[in-house]
Amino acid sequence: MTTTEPPAVPAHLEETIARLRTEVAALHAQLTRYGLVVWTGGNISGRVPGADLFVIKPSGVDYDDLAADNMILCDLDGNVVPGTPGSDRSPSSDTAAHAYVYRNMPDVGGVVHTHSPYAVAWAALGEPIPCVTTAMADEFGGEVPIGPFAIIGDDSIGRGIVETLQGHRSRAVLMKNHGPFTIGKDARDAVKAAVMVEDVARTVHFSRQLGTPQPIAPEAIDALFDRYQNVYGQNPTGSLN
């Protein structure tokens, strides 16, 4: 009797995974467009809806060479799913961190890491970005917090992200001496948070050169966050947390 190997992924997920591969590959162009990465640094991942899987960028591949078929499919332990496109490559060195976030924050559908210069400068300072603009209140619901120092390679960074952001309205954390990680409802939402955290990091830095930035009252932050998350735009869907 002969046996056949089970398919790498269930047939009903193939189309969903293919779409996600295309989306995640294309979103990396936004990181270069907004100057959030240099060389091959940084990464984006997206959770496969309805499955314990996610798609992530391969390690050390030029941004110009990223494509749907070299995105890597992983399980929530960070293991590459064999027999799938890209499975002959090594996934991002941050894969264990992304996997830990997905395992422990089930509402998160996307994770992004960049080395954007102003946000990294705050991370090197080891200080949260204070909420001193309405844009920060809108997007992050308060300060952008600092996470602990952690060495890359295992899930230490992921633990720091989860410990810092669980129960926090911010979708961004500045890992100390490292840089920003952002989360979102999906990969695009997490990319938006990465773009916005660099924007506010730059603005608050400029403000500090002029003097002492003025804080916004907590009740005003609450009102601004609620309006932006639940009223602003064409199809508001509420905050992640």
Percent of the chain beyond pLDDT 90? 89
Task: Tell me the pLDDT of the chain averaged across its residues.
Answer: 95
Angle in degrees, CA 235, 119, 121, rounded to 5:
170
pLDDT at residue 238 in the model? 78
- Looking at the predicted structure, is the pLDDT value of residue 174 above 80? yes
- Please provide residue 180's backbone torsions phi and psi, each rounded to the nearest 5 degrees: -80, 140
Residues 12-35: tens digit of each pLDDT: 999 999 999 999 999 999 999 999
Lowest mean pLDDT among 104-108, 112-116, 118-122, 236-240: 236-240
**Nearby residues of 122 by Cβ (< 8 Å), 6 or more positions away:** 128, 129, 144, 146, 174, 201, 205
Percent of the chain beyond pLDDT 70? 95
| pTM for the structure as a whole | 0.95
pLDDT at residue 8 in the model? 76
Q: Does domain 11-230 have CATH number 3.40.225.10?
A: yes
Residues 29-43: tens digit of each pLDDT: 999 999 999 999 999
